[in-house]
Amino acid sequence: MDAKVLIESFAEFARSKNVDRPTMIRILEDVFRAMIRKKFETDENFDVTINADQGDLEIFRIREIVDDNSEDIWDFDKISFTEARKIEPDFEIGEEVYEKIELEDFGRRAVQMARQTLIQRIKDLEKDILYNKYEELVGEIVSAEVYQILGREILLMDGEGNELILPKAEQISKDRFRKGDTVKAIVHRVDMSNGNPKIILSRTSPVFLERLFENEVPEVYDGLITIIKIVREPGERAKVAVESYDDRIDPVGACVGMKGSRIHAVVRELQNENIDVINYTENLDLYVTRALSPAKVSSINANEETKRISVFLKPDQVSLAIGKGGYNIKLASRLIGYEIDVFRELNEYEEEDVDLMEFVDEIDSWIIDELKKTGLDTAKSVLSLTKEDLTRRTELEEETVDEIFRILGQEFDQ
């Protein structure tokens, strides 16, 4: 293979990978200089000129002519007078010899190795370009097409044919994709695995929800409305705390849009995830009240040292505060940064009830804490539920629930 064929084939391959001309020339020169060092031990006295467009390569070895008896005759950049005269009869001592080296002089095997090295260098460069591209896109939304569905992940292809990965853990539980579907997600992170960039996407990250709001709500994109915090149970429920520094802008109304037009687009993308948009405030009591919406809070008692808040509600508001699957109270706690304990306000009839703490000698305190987290703070409030409801709401084992009912039931039998 001559130099022209080698350079032209490499240049064509490099252009197909969108490698710019200066980088292409630099790679070619690096590889040829490596060949020179392998054959001559150094490339310091070599001049390499490459014209990738024409496929031209010129390599010159430059040496100074010294007397045959000179002490420097063995230096890499020196040539004896006798050897120089063999190249050109009229050379004189002190002049420089420019000796052209042909690619064939390196041998067929060296040229084949150079070709493989060039291709590998481009592939490595392509990996670096891909890594850097997506490293800059971390936290941004991308769209890609599903091309393979596996058990633990979905493989997608971007517009340039690069493989992206959407793991099962980063998918919304209600997501159902088929080959050829276009999927929106954020670039969650970029890893290097055995020298190959691995681009991980996410649809469960709070950042994904934030970017969707930026796309649908111009005031958020322009910075007129700030998203303070987002907490999610992907596919089920989310709470978004927003704030506007312009009194003329209603941050909640702007995010929801006329008749819910803006937020509906976000909800559809998230498989009908229920999204509560909350007006942020530094007033803790008011913030808790808003976070527990749609429940109406009667009173609040906050302990900043223990980071716990006791919330008192009318009996018919307790289930609203807890929400389906307990998501409302869990998300409210994460949004506020406090553990929220729900208590029912007792009416005259319920004053005959017994606080669960009265049973601490018979029921483990951690079990009582679990019951209180779901708004069950008295014996009758527990007994008003079926065993199935209590098991589902608290995730306690059936044997434990049976024991709770037995102990509390004995109190009222007496």
Per-residue model confidence (pLDDT) at position 361 = 79
CA pair distance 134, 198, nearest whole angstrom:
10
Residue-wise pLDDT for 17-37, tens only, equals 777 788 888 888 888 888 888
pLDDT above 90: residue 243:
yes
Q: Are residues 155 and 99 in the same domain?
A: no
Q: Are residues 15 and 66 in the same domain?
A: yes
For residue 211, give the nearest of 234, 230, 198, 190 by alpha carbon.
230
CA pair distance 230, 74, nearest whole angstrom:
73
pLDDT above 70: residue 358:
yes
pLDDT above 90: residue 71:
no
Phi, psi of 70 (to 5 degrees): -70, 145
Q: Is 386 exposed, middle or buried (0-12, 13-18, 19+ CB in 10 A)?
A: exposed
Alpha helix (H) residue ranges in 270-397? 284-291, 315-322, 327-336, 365-373, 379-383, 387-394
Per-residue model confidence (pLDDT) at position 168 = 94
CATH code for position 59:
3.30.1480
Amino acid found at 53? D
Residue-wise pLDDT for 298-342, tens only, equals 889 888 888 999 998 887 788 888 888 889 999 999 999 999 988
Q: Are residues 23 and 89 in the same domain?
A: yes
Q: Are residues 23 and 96 in the same domain?
A: yes
Q: Are residues 195 and 224 in the same domain?
A: no
Average pLDDT value over all residues in the chain:
87
End-to-end alpha carbon distance in the chain: 101
Q: Give how many domains the chain has, as a whole number.
A: 3
Per-residue model confidence (pLDDT) at position 401 = 87
Residue 401 in any domain: the answer is no
Residue-wise pLDDT for 102-135, tens only, equals 888 888 888 888 888 888 888 888 888 889 899 9
Confidence of residue 346 (pLDDT cuts 50, 70, 90): low
CATH code for position 274:
3.30.300.20
Positive or negative CA dihedral for 22, 28, 33, 38? positive
Q: Are residues 161 and 272 in the same domain?
A: no
pLDDT above 80: residue 96:
yes
Virtual torsion, Cα 399, 401, 407, 413, nearest 10 deg: -110
Contact 227, 197 (CB under 8 A): no
CA pair distance 375, 381, nearest whole angstrom:
9
CA pair distance 172, 273, nearest whole angstrom:
9
Of the residues 73, 107, 132, the one at which a domain ends: 132
pLDDT above 50: residue 57:
yes
Per-residue model confidence (pLDDT) at position 1 = 52
| Token pair listed for 100 | 């052209």
According to the 3-state scheme, what is the secondary structure of 98-145? EEEECHHHHCHHHHHHHHHHHHHHHHHHHHHHHHHHHHCCECCEEEEE
Q: Are residues 20 and 79 in the same domain?
A: yes
Burial 347-379, CB ≥16 within 10 A → b, else e: eeeeeebeebeebeeebeeebbebbbbbbbbbb
Q: Are residues 121 and 73 in the same domain?
A: yes
CATH code for position 180:
2.40.50.140
Beta bridge pairs of residue 191: 198
Phi, psi of 360 (to 5 degrees): -60, -25
Contact 119, 16 (CB under 8 A): no
- Domain with 160, as residue range(s), is 144-204
Q: Which residues have a Cβ under 8 Å from the Cβ of 346 and sit 6 or more positions away?
A: 353, 378
CA 220 to chain centre: 21
